Amino acid sequence: MAIILDYQLREQVPHDVEKFPITYFCDELAALPNWAGPLHWHPDFEIATAVSGVLDFQVGQHHVILKAGDSILVNGNILHGIKQLSGDIPDPMPNIVFSGALIASETSDIYQKYIQPVANCDALPFIVFDQKNSWHNEVNRLVKNVYGLMSEQGQCYEMAVQRELSSIFQCIFSNFDELPKTENTRIQINTQIRIQKMLSYIREHYAEAVTLEEIARSANISRSEAGRCFNAYVGCSPVDALIQHRLQVAHRLIKDTTRSLQEISYSCGFNSVHYFSRQFRKTYGYTPGQYRALGK
């Protein structure tokens, strides 16, 4: 299932929050251009695993390299994105997005004692579980069990998933003091908030004639400050980020609709089909027409 984002860039996770607040994904990268997912965020925890390739998991300004067998937990409301760095085929990258309330009610002693300290720790935007640490390997085993349970959905699988997630957080809490912490300054926190506001504006208005000043104004900052924020987190200018999002939307429309390339170009905010085609080829290595003809 491909990553689906609403206009505020919060991932639309289709799980029933009241009944069983967890969703399992697999093979997402195969549906994403260049096997790379855009920066996004959601209030839930996320755990993902590299299966066969090498993955670059961006969390905030940090780039975490996951090798086959490594997993990562991303805390809630943290900007994150993914890109595959190696491998001839897209990595399956199984992952789960879930609420801590699945383990225990937010008003319970269990949640407040064991889940909340992790969820509310600003210095812990992510945890990497590699294969060089014994308790990390135990978490990786438990995570793999959850993937299997969510995929098969056999009898009483919900109870088994809850049990495995509880064991994962027991491991995390028991080793909490030894986890590497990241000090986030007020400036860094404010920068991330600004990025979230500007990315949300781009996703909502990409089809319009958007200016740099309008993007900056959405976060109540100057154009130069907007450029600094984007370079720090996204590695490009705000206008380049706008163009890349337009191309991502166009890429999906070419694959999933029969609309003409001209219609797609204009609907994605490009005033020139030639410019659209040139930017598309520059980014993906083939023209829009080639992509549609080859069924990429």
C-alpha span between 175 and 283 (Å, rounded)? 43
How confident is residue 9, by pLDDT bands cut at 50, 70 and 90?
very low
The alpha helices in the chain, defined as continuous H runs, are 109-110, 116-119, 134-152, 157-174, 186-205, 212-217, 223-233, 238-256, 261-267, 273-284, 288-294
How confident is residue 33, by pLDDT bands cut at 50, 70 and 90?
confident
Q: Residues 78, 130: one domain?
A: yes
Residue 250 located in a structural domain: yes
Boundary residue ending a domain (178, 201, 222):
178
What is the reported pLDDT for 283? 92
Quick: pLDDT tens for 198-222.
Answer: 999 999 999 999 999 999 999 999 9
Measured at the CA of 104, the angle between CA 103 and CA 106, to 5 degrees, comes to 125
Residue 11 located in a structural domain: no
Number of folded domains that form the chain: 2
Which of 76-80, 144-148, 205-209 shows the lowest per-residue confidence on average (mean pLDDT)? 76-80
Beta strands in 30-116 (DSSP E): 36-40, 45-49, 54-59, 62-66, 71-74, 80-86, 95-98
What one-character DSSP code corresponds to residue 236?
Answer: S
C-alpha span between 49 and 26 (Å, rounded)? 10
Residue 49 located in a structural domain: yes
Residue 78 located in a structural domain: yes
Prediction pTM value: 0.85
The mean pLDDT of the chain is 90
Tokens of 11: 């991932």
Residue 1 located in a structural domain: no
Q: Residues 47, 166: one domain?
A: yes
What is the reported pLDDT for 263? 96
Q: Residues 170, 199: one domain?
A: no
Residue 64 located in a structural domain: yes
Residue 58: phi, psi to the nearest 5? -85, 125
Quick: pLDDT tens for 128-138.
Answer: 999 888 899 99
Q: Is the pLDDT of residue 275 over 60?
A: yes
Q: Residues 141, 41: one domain?
A: yes
Quick: pLDDT tens for 169-198.
Answer: 999 999 999 999 887 777 788 888 899 999
Q: Residues 27, 174: one domain?
A: yes
Count other Cβ atoms within 10 Å, centred on residue 216: 22
Share of the chain above pLDDT 70, in %: 93
Q: Residues 147, 253: one domain?
A: no
Rounded to whole angstroms, the maximal C-alpha distance in the chain is 61
3-class state of residue 255 by DSSP: helix
CATH code, 66: 2.60.120.280
C-alpha span between 127 and 129 (Å, rounded)? 7
Q: Residues 153, 237: one domain?
A: no
Residues 6 or more apart in contact with residue 138 via CB below 8 angstroms: 171
Q: Residues 170, 254: one domain?
A: no
Domain limits for position 211: 186-294
Q: Residues 30, 174: one domain?
A: yes
Judging by beta carbons within 10 Å of its beta carbon (0-12, 13-18, 19+), is residue 1 exposed, middle or buried? Answer: exposed
Quick: pLDDT tens for 36-52.
Answer: 998 898 999 999 999 99
3-class state of residue 267 by DSSP: helix
Q: Residues 278, 213: one domain?
A: yes
What one-character DSSP code corresponds to residue 5?
Answer: B
Q: Is the pLDDT of residue 296 over 70?
A: no
Give the residue carrying structure tokens 């801590």: 100
What is the reported pLDDT for 7? 36
Q: Residues 28, 109: one domain?
A: yes
Residue 4 located in a structural domain: no
Boundary residue ending a domain (178, 206, 226):
178
The answer to whether 14 touches 44, Cβ cutoff 8 Å, is: no
Q: What is the CA radius of gyration of the chain?
A: 20
Residue 108 located in a structural domain: yes
Quick: pLDDT tens for 96-136.
Answer: 999 999 999 999 999 999 999 999 998 999 999 998 888 99
Give the residue carrying structure tokens 């349970």: 149
Quick: pLDDT tens for 212-260.
Answer: 999 999 999 999 999 999 998 888 999 999 999 999 999 999 988 999 9
CATH code, 289: 1.10.10.60
Q: Residues 139, 197: one domain?
A: no
Q: Is the pLDDT of residue 6 over 50?
A: no
Boundary residue ending a domain (124, 159, 178):
178
What one-character DSSP code corresponds to residue 25?
Answer: E
Tokens of 48: 């993902």
